[in-house]
């Protein structure tokens, strides 16, 4: 008994969130969406779509960017953090699907898009891409499990298909990251002009790429603290530089688009939409300006702070598109019910717990010290 009570603060929080999540799940199952959410006919998509799905998929974007960097562009110096990133992405998609099971009115029919096709639907495309990409991520991660148990033959098979798998993963991600933006192309009369633009798919893709880098930096910091791994400072610094350029490109494009559509003046209106738009932009602009400075990129603490800002900016953007920007057009004010918040928090906690468990029991972090400059670890060995 005393042993049972000797949990850390984080473990207590985890237990509390799990119990809360279970109770919320009970409410959802027995009282329906009406009892568990503040959704309505006027506002059918809330926190579970806006945060759990839109942000969840975006925050898992590090998986395909890093896989492409290591396997396609052959920059092997990033390999030490690849597995952790793939694992986060796989977990992320698993949790998105879990959240969908809460949000769908008939979760037991989640397989319907497999057999009931409607190729005109963006949602149909997203469903297929997410399904296929989750499979790809599982296959990309499974070598870690094989290694743990020392299964050499299946490891060889996975090595043989790894490049086509990575390519499929990159293409599928490009498609559905942008398609999450395309979902909102259908509501020109409802979504606020600060966010509605024909370029939504491009903006969703670019911001997903950016947050993929930010998440990689974020995870690397936490892994180094939790597992005592060295933060690969020069690697993360050069990633941060790419992130800064990407953010700059994205922001210039956003404002060019606002100007082109004549929506620039709406930024200065005295409305909630304008304030939250400014918050979103600030959370992306400030880290961009900071990351262009070399000393900031080389200081782990500052780098981490920038990554966190980018992540918050990204989340604000997705919530602005799905909630803030949709309120005026639908004529209702939406505040999530406690059950919606509880489920979301429980899902996040579950993600952290599974990652920790996997990191402790599977070979996630490479044993050898990461190469510091350039990639030619193997070449140098061959050349000597």
Cα(66)–Cα(298) distance, integer angstroms: 20
118: left (phi over 0), alpha (psi -120 to 50) or beta: beta
Nearer to other proteins, 1 or 382 (CB): 382
Ranges within 186-205 binding other proteins (CB under 8 A): 186-190, 198, 201
Contact between residue 25 and residue 302 where contact means Cβ atoms under 8 Å apart: no
Cα(318)–Cα(379) distance, integer angstroms: 44
- Which of 59, 52, 115, 120 is CA-nearest to residue 90? 59
Q: What is the dihedral of CA 187, 192, 193, 195, to 10 degrees?
A: -80
Contact with other proteins (CB under 8 A) among 27, 55, 66, 127? 127
Stretch that binds other proteins, among 180-188, 251-259, 261-269, 279-287 (CB under 8 A): 180-188
Stretch that binds other proteins, among 98-106, 138-146, 218-226, 269-277 (CB under 8 A): 98-106
Contact between residue 329 and residue 192 where contact means Cβ atoms under 8 Å apart: yes
Contact between residue 63 and residue 89 where contact means Cβ atoms under 8 Å apart: yes
Instruction: Provide the mask over 58-77, with x wherever binding to other proteins is found by CB under 8 A and - wherever it is not.
Output: ----------x--xxxx---
Residue 180 found at the interface with other proteins (CB under 8 A)? no
Contact with other proteins (CB under 8 A) among 32, 154, 156, 259? 32
For other proteins (CB under 8 A), the number of binding residues is: 64
Residue 207 found at the interface with other proteins (CB under 8 A)? no
Residue 123 found at the interface with other proteins (CB under 8 A)? yes
Contact between residue 66 and residue 81 where contact means Cβ atoms under 8 Å apart: yes
> CA separation (Å) from 146 to 51, 143, 161?
34, 5, 15
Residue 262 found at the interface with other proteins (CB under 8 A)? no
Q: What is the dihedral of CA 88, 94, 99, 100, to 10 degrees?
A: 130
Stretch that binds other proteins, among 164-172, 235-243, 311-319, 360-368 (CB under 8 A): 164-172
Residue 145 CB, shortest distance to other proteins, in Å, is: 25
Contact with other proteins (CB under 8 A) among 30, 150, 152, 367? 30
Return residues touching other proteins (CB under 8 A): 29-35, 39-42, 44-45, 68, 71-74, 103-107, 109-110, 112-113, 116-127, 163, 166-167, 170-171, 174-175, 178-179, 182-183, 185-190, 198, 201, 326, 330, 376, 379, 382-383
């Amino acid at each position: 008994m005393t042993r049972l009570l000797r949990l850390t603060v984080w473990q207590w929080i985890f237990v509390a969130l799990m119990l809360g999540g279970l109770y919320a799940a009970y409410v959802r199952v027995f009282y329906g969406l009406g009892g568990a959410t503040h959704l309505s006919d006027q506002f059918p998509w809330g926190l579970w779509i806006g945060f759990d799905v839109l942000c969840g998929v975006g925050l898992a974007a590090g998986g395909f960017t890093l896989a492409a960097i290591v396997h396609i562009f052959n920059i092997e110096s990033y390999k030490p953090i690849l597995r952790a990133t793939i694992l986060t992405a796989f977990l992320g998609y698993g949790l998105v699907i879990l959240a969908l099971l809460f949000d769908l009115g008939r979760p037991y029919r989640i397989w319907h898009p497999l057999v009931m096709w409607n190729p005109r639907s963006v949602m149909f495309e997203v469903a297929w891409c997410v399904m296929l990409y989750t499979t790809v991520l599982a296959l990309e991660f499974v070598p870690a499990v094989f290694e743990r148990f020392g299964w050499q033959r299946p490891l060889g098979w996975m090595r043989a298909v790894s490049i086509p798998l990575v390519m499929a993963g990159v293409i599928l991600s490009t498609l559905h990251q942008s398609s999450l933006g395309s979902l909102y192309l259908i509501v020109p009369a409802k979504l606020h002009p600060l966010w509605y633009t024909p370029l939504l798919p491009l903006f969703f893709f670019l911001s997903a790429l950016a947050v993929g880098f930010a998440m990689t930096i974020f995870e690397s910091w936490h892994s180094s603290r939790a597992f005592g791994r060295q933060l690969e400072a020069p690697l993360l610094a050069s990633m941060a530089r790419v992130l800064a350029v990407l953010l700059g490109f994205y922001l210039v494009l956003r404002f060019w688009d606002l100007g082109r559509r004549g929506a620039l003046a709406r930024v200065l209106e005295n409305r909630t939409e304008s304030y939250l738009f400014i918050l979103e932009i600030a959370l992306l602009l400030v880290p961009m300006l900071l990351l262009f400075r070399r000393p900031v990129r080389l200081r782990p603490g500052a780098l981490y702070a920038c990554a966190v800002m980018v992540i918050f900016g990204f989340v604000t953007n997705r919530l602005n598109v799905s909630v803030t920007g949709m309120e005026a057009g639908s004529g209702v004010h939406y505040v999530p019910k406690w059950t919606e918040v509880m489920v979301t928090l429980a899902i996040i906690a579950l993600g952290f717990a599974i990652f920790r468990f996997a990191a402790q029991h599977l070979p996630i972090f490479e044993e050898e010290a990461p190469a510091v400059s350039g990639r030619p670890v193997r070449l140098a060995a061959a050349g000597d």
